[in-house]
Amino acid sequence: MSRDVLFQPLRVGRFTLEHRVVMAPLTRMRSTMPGNVPNDMNALYYQQRATRNGLIIAEASQVVPEGQGVPASPGIHSPEQIAGWKQVTSAVHSQGGLIFLQLWHVGRISHASHQPKGGQPVAPSAIAAQGMAMTRDFQRDTLPVPRALTREEIQALVPQYAQAARHAIEAGFDGVEIHAANGYLLEQFMQTRSNQRTDDYGGSIENRCRLPLEITRAVCEAIGADRVGIRLSPFGVANDSGEADPMPLYTHIIGQLNTMGLAYLHVIEPRASGAGAREVDHQNVPSACELFRSSWSGTLITAGNFTGDTASHVVSQGLADAVAFGRHFISNPDLPARIRVNGPITPYNRATFYGGGAEGYTDYPKMG
């Protein structure tokens, strides 16, 4: 199959991309501790992967200290973090690239070691997720029972996300992506398994979607809707997530988001759910981009175990407008060029995904 379709221009909000091979947000746990501050090595990593008018979605970054779930993940709430991110955005812009920041709050997928004063993680309801947490010192521990947020605390999250978006623009980012996927806080509000509230943030689909929609509107007001994307995982099971019947929930929220004029919607395909933790390729599962394409009139990005050929297929069929690549972008800093010429794809080393130094981070070569 011809891959030329991936190298046609694409309008994304206020920007025009020269190609449709997007770098997906990837947690790498290499910020400077204490403080979770982006550093010179992070800047080099992103610079290596930047292309002229190509889109990078930078790794998930906590909007408030309570939102942290793993060690050495960057934030976007302190002056030091903003200054550190300026190094990264300057490095990407030096190559002519575009870079958005993913805004993150992990909710119940945290541990007391990440929380201010060692407190409980927070969530819609006091329901522990199944699975293991990663502590501040890179150890494993059982995920704790979280504390249910009060209504006032929920409403305080809305301006906190808006402030994080303003901080991202101050740091030089071209836009932001709201992380409402993979079992983290905003998806915890959306799904019945993690939200059993009885107030106006729980119960009906409309109530469970209230917070993600309020946050998205506030972020749009803060920096402009044409600089805002959002990521959803309608069929995901990561971090003990998953809705028994996802279609009514995600049809509703995508329909509401569709009225906001966002830069893009980013969906994770179900065959890739959990891919950060292990090799997965769920077979005989629905296609998220195909199911929700008709509900979304704007730019649609899809992600999940794509190759150059399968990415070309979904774009040529009109099922998505661009395809985000994650793991292969780690080990192939020049991935768009390799896809274009059907060049060799360097295998990644999963053992170096999280934490560490330059090995498995900035030492992967380009072609030739």
- Residue numbers annotated as active site: 184
The label of the residue with tokens 């991936």 reads 6
Strands (E), the chain: 10-12, 15-17, 21-23, 55-62, 98-104, 122-123, 132-134, 140-142, 147-148, 175-180, 228-232, 264-268, 300-303, 322-325
The label of the residue with tokens 């749009």 reads 220
User: 175, 165, 293: which is closest to 229 by C-alpha?
Assistant: 175
Instruction: For residues 308 and 316, give the distance between their C-alpha atoms in angstroms, rounded to a whole number.
Output: 12
**Buried/exposed 235-247: b ≥16 CB within 10 Å, e otherwise:** bbebbbbbbeebe
Rounded to the nearest angstrom, the gap between the alpha carbon of residue 83 and the centroid of all alpha carbons in its chain is: 21
Q: Which two tokens stand for residue 33?
A: 């501790």
Helix 151-170, helix 79-94: angle, nearest 10: 40
Q: Which two tokens stand for residue 79?
A: 């002056």
Pairing of strands 55-62, 98-104: parallel
Taking each continuous run of H as one helix and of E as one strand, the counts in the chain are 11, 14
Handedness of CA 270, 272, 276, 277 (dihedral sign): positive
Structural Rg of the chain based on CA atoms: 19
Residues 6+ apart with CB under 8 A from 318: 293
Instruction: For residues 328 and 306, give the distance between their C-alpha atoms in angstroms, rounded to a whole number.
Output: 9
64 within 8 A of 31, measured Cβ to Cβ: no
196 within 8 A of 108, measured Cβ to Cβ: no
